[in-house]
Amino acid sequence: MASFYLAVLLIALTPCGLDAVEDNDRFDCYPDDGATQQLCEARGCMWEETNNNKAPKCFYCPDAAFSLSVARTATGTVLWDTSVGGFTFSDQFLQISTKLPSSYVYGFGEHERNKFRHNMDWWTWGMFTRDEAPGPPSNGVNKNLYGMHPFYLCVEDDGKAHGVLLLNSNAMEVVLQPTPAMTFRTVGGILDFYMFLGDGPEDVVRQYTEFVGRPFMPPYWGLGFQLCKWGYGSLDVVKDVVKEMQEYNIPHDVQYGDIDYMERQMDFTIDPVNYQGLPEFVDQIRRDGMRYVIILDPAITTNETAPYPPYTNGTALDVWIKSGEDTSQPLTGKVWPYYPGTVVDPNAEWDYKVENYNAYSVFPDYFHADIDRWWGEFIKDFYKTLKFDGLWIDMNEPTNFVHGSVTGCSDNKWDNPPYMPKILGPNIYSKTLCMNSIHGGTEHYNTHSLYGWSQAEPTQRALREVTGKRGIVFGRSTFPSAGHFEGHWLGDNTAKWDHLHKSIIGMLDFGLFGMPYVGADICGFWDDATPDMCHRWMQLGAFYPFSRNHNYEGGAPQHPTHWDGVIADAARDALQTRYTFLPFLYTLFYQAHTQGSTVVRSLMHEFIEDKLTWSIDRQFLWGPALLVSPVLDQGEMDVNAYFPKGRWYDYYSVNSDRQGREVAGSDQGRSLLLPCDMDCIPVHIRGGHVIPTQEHANTTVYSRRKPLGLIVALDEAGRASGSLFWDEGEDIDTIGSNSYRMISFNVAESTLDITVERNGYTPDPELRYETIQVFGSPTMPTDVTVNGQSVASENIVKKTADKVRDYGKT
């Protein structure tokens, strides 16, 4: 009887039952500001003080009655368990919480983070696309950046991995807590979850991209080095930069026009004074093997006095986002374009400029049925004037320099939702459009984060139609499946040292999101890079899949030949190494495009059995085989690099007599301190792989005509394999039309077999191998066969014998 009485008493005291709820097991019932015991209890939730200021005082009682769980059949691991309470499904507030099987969580974007692996100690990540530069939390809010990716990867304790997508475009937040557990809170739509069961991280990305769309196949030149600056000032400056790059013999495939090539930043115009002669210049650099990419922004000025067809035609087609107050009228805001006749005071404050220089703009609705007739036609029309090779779509969060519209926003349920997720404010419409505007047939509230994504496909379509080539589109604001149409750069970063490290985290994140064509602005966008920072950043950036140096209008020049060429040698060396590996990088993109694999890859994707790799984010792999361990800190002249189990070979020992070629042949992983002076960026090749290479040149047009090489890095059993994808380089859908060559390489028992698996493309000039380097062999390879025929004596080995070198253990 006594115990019965006690139980009754406790139930009366704690609505959650007999057991106290530990801090880590509490799920926040009052995420809004201003929680009090009274307000909490009015919600039917539990209030209890705690010394942990991150844990909620107001929390749900666990609720097993209304819950679901998902378990992995093979292992019994419970991947999801929502019995923790808090499930809410209402008009503008949907919430679900789940326990997780481990605290190894990755993904969600777009954000700046200190680690690739998430911190589970009560962190809230808002997601809603926003024109916001990467940086630390602002007013206690982790900044939501340009893109929205409600997708995470979780590695279970036994090394199996799964991914989860919440396919929902409304403003949302995710709370991570040490239970381990997470809570999704979104302000609209439905709870549309997709689970990808792996069972390793690489499988998860393959399954995810099978669902959202495989990454597009970039053209070969898109893997070359790219150079941009907002505010070169004039075409003469651009010409000088390009000439200098050639004089210093630094590989340089792509030159850019940022918004200053335009007349007053208006799409489909060229500044007639500062960029007079741009089309002829573009023709000339294209003849030299280079490419030109231009920026386009969505906002279209309404205030031209001379005819401006993009506005008048768009108005005739009625393609603009409409005002929520009067749906017959477009919503007007302000972005770049200036009023006609503007004389700009370069010292004017931002607000003064917006008020006085920036014209009223309208925003195209890229969901509009006639969008190709407008956007697509203007792209094609402009191509008649300027022969661009790629399109860079910026400002498509969409950004707006006035909040909501030129007249602000009315008080309505979309612009003042009952719950504001932890995104930057102060309002949900800050820096963008009113949420009640009509976009894609619904309130912008629902489609806001789809803006950049919706622009990508029509842009890619128009680019391909007008150039007849694949080209590249890359955008700032992205959403799941954007990788099928475009690449991404990591936005307006800053010339500061920690942004070298964070760029690796950003690349790994976008790898998970199925967007492998990614990189950060090399040497930083905002602020001025110092020569030593830019030097290290050029070395790191040489290993970004999308390798571009770019900075802002007021910033000091930072192209690799600046500073009297002080960093030019290091930049040239690193980029020449990049170009040497381009056949391998291109093959990785083919694999990403056809199988959904990652290109830049976290070490854990390859070494999941080694738990140390689950937290590594200062090194990264290209595919399975090439390990990059950059110097990321000022003044450092060595790198603490981790080598997982297996054989690893120092790439540079190929080209020098440096000793210690095999760095870490071992049964288990180990860390090594690698000396690394300013000339060095460590690159190691993993035993078991054959890497196709090619001699570098000033552009990919010329490198593609040079001899190929093979690096054969043997594993413990003396085996290695690899492949090479080769096509014309920029034709559309060479894979679908079988217009490519696929070659596989296999080494076993001292024989290298080269097999042409598919021969749908004949390069001109024909590919030839000049150098075959074998790492890790105590003896020379004795035989080479091509398609089963021994060719050793005549064609390959003799010709290259002097270059076939033994890199056996030393």
Ligand X SMILES: *[C@@H]1O[C@H](CO)[C@@H](O)[C@H](O)[C@H]1NC(C)=O
Mind telling me the catalytic residues?
394, 397
Q: Is 148 in the site for ligand X (CB under 6 A)?
A: no
Is 753 a binding residue for ligand X by CB under 6 A? The answer is no
From the list 78-86, 285-293, 662-670, 672-680, the region that binds ligand X by CB under 6 A is 285-293
Task: Tell me the site size for ligand X, rule CB under 6 A.
Answer: 17
Residue type for position 698: N
Whether 559 and 246 have beta carbons less than 8 Å apart is answered as: no
Q: How far apart are CA 45 and CA 527, in angstroms?
A: 48
DSSP letter for 731, please.
B
Among positions 178, 189, 231, 309, the unique one binding ligand X when judged by CB under 6 A: 309
CA distances from 285 to 248, 289, 669, 699 (A): 16, 6, 48, 11
d(CA 147, CA 512): 14
Helix (H, G, I), strand (E, B) or coil at 364: strand
Contact between 302 and ligand X per CB under 6 A: yes
If binding is defined by CB under 6 A, does position 315 make contact with ligand X?
no
CA dist 326 and 331 (Å) reads 9
248 binds ligand X (CB under 6 A): no
Alpha helix positions (H), 278-408: 278-287, 309-317, 350-356, 371, 377-383
Which of 50, 92, 246, 430 contacts ligand X by CB under 6 A?
246
95 touches 184 (CB < 8 A)? yes
Q: Residue 136 or 384: which CB sits closer to ligand X?
A: 384
Out of 303, 315, 744, 750, name the contact with ligand X by CB under 6 A: 303
State in angstroms the smallest separation of the CB of 362 from ligand X. 7
Using CB under 6 A as the binding rule, whether residue 289 contacts ligand X is answered as yes
* Interaction between residue 251 and ligand X (CB under 6 A): no
Residue with tokens 């106290």: 20
User: Nearest Cα to 714, choosing from 747, 688, 694?
Assistant: 688
Nearest residue to 127 (alpha-carbon basis) of 155, 146, 140: 146
| Region from 257-265, 377-385, 395-403, 673-681 binding ligand X, contact rule CB under 6 A | 377-385
Q: Please, what is the Cα angle at 456 between 231 and 740, to 5 degrees?
A: 105
Tell me: cis bond preceding 377? Omega within 30 of 0 counts: no
> Who's near 662: CB < 8 A, 6+ residues apart?
647, 648, 649, 650, 775, 776, 807, 808, 809, 810
Q: If binding is defined by CB under 6 A, does position 378 make contact with ligand X?
A: yes
Nearest distance in Å: CB 303, ligand X: 4
At closest approach, how far in Å is the CB of 283 from ligand X?
13
Residue 286's CB is within 10 A of a number of other CB atoms, namely 16
> In terms of CB distance, is 272 or 307 closer to ligand X?
307
C-alpha to C-alpha distance for 298 and 375, rounded to whole angstroms: 9
Residues 326-345 as x/- pattern, contact with ligand X by CB under 6 A: ------x------x------
Nearer to ligand X, 138 or 249 (CB): 249
Q: How far is the CB of 230 from ligand X (least distance, A)?
A: 22
Query: Of 14, 313, 666, 750, which one interacts with ligand X (CB under 6 A)?
Result: 313
- Which of 219-227, 363-371, 375-383, 457-465 is the region at the interface with ligand X (rule: CB under 6 A)? 375-383
User: Looking at beta carbons only, is 462 or 796 nearer to ligand X?
Assistant: 462
Nearest to ligand X of 602, 699 (CB atom): 699
Say whether residue 288 binds ligand X (CB under 6 A).
yes
Stretch that binds ligand X, among 8-16, 259-267, 374-382, 621-629 (CB under 6 A): 374-382
Closer CB to ligand X, 361 or 587, in the complex:
361
- Range 353-372, binding ligand X (CB under 6 A): 360
DSSP 508-575: HHHHHTT--SEE-EET-SBSPPPHHHHHHHHHHHTTSSS-EE---TTSPP-STTTGGGTTHHHHHHHH
Residue number with CB closer to ligand X (86 or 310) = 310
Q: Does 290 bind ligand X (CB under 6 A)?
A: yes
Q: How far is the CB of 351 from ligand X (least distance, A)?
A: 17
Q: How many CA atoms does the CB half-sphere of 672 hold within 13 Å?
A: 19
CB 748 within 8 A of CB 719: yes
Q: Kindly state the smallest distance separating residue 391's Cβ from ligand X, in Å.
A: 16
* Sites for ligand X among residues 659-718 (CB under 6 A): 698-699, 702
Nearest approach, Cβ of residue 570 and ligand X (Å): 20
Q: Which stretch binds ligand X (CB under 6 A): 109-117, 283-291, 620-628, 757-765?
A: 283-291
Nearer to ligand X, 248 or 419 (CB): 248
Please state the closest distance from residue 319 (CB atom) to ligand X, in A. Answer: 11
Smallest gap from residue 430 Cβ to ligand X (A): 22
Does residue number 377 form part of the binding site for ligand X (CB under 6 A)?
yes
Place of tokens 């080494």: 747
Cβ-based nearer residue to ligand X, 313 or 430: 313
- Pick the closer one to ligand X by CB: 298 or 646: 298
| Residues whose CB is less than 8 angstroms from the CB of residue 542 and which lie 6 or more positions away in sequence, other chains included | 225, 571, 574, 575, 577, 578, 681
Among candidate residues 66, 97, 109, the one with its CA nearest the CA of residue 179: 97
Nearest approach, Cβ of residue 402 and ligand X (Å): 13
Q: Is 658 left (phi over 0), alpha (psi -120 to 50) or beta?
A: beta
Query: Which residues are near ligand X by CB under 6 A?
Result: 246, 288-290, 302-303, 309, 313, 332, 339, 360, 377-378, 381, 698-699, 702
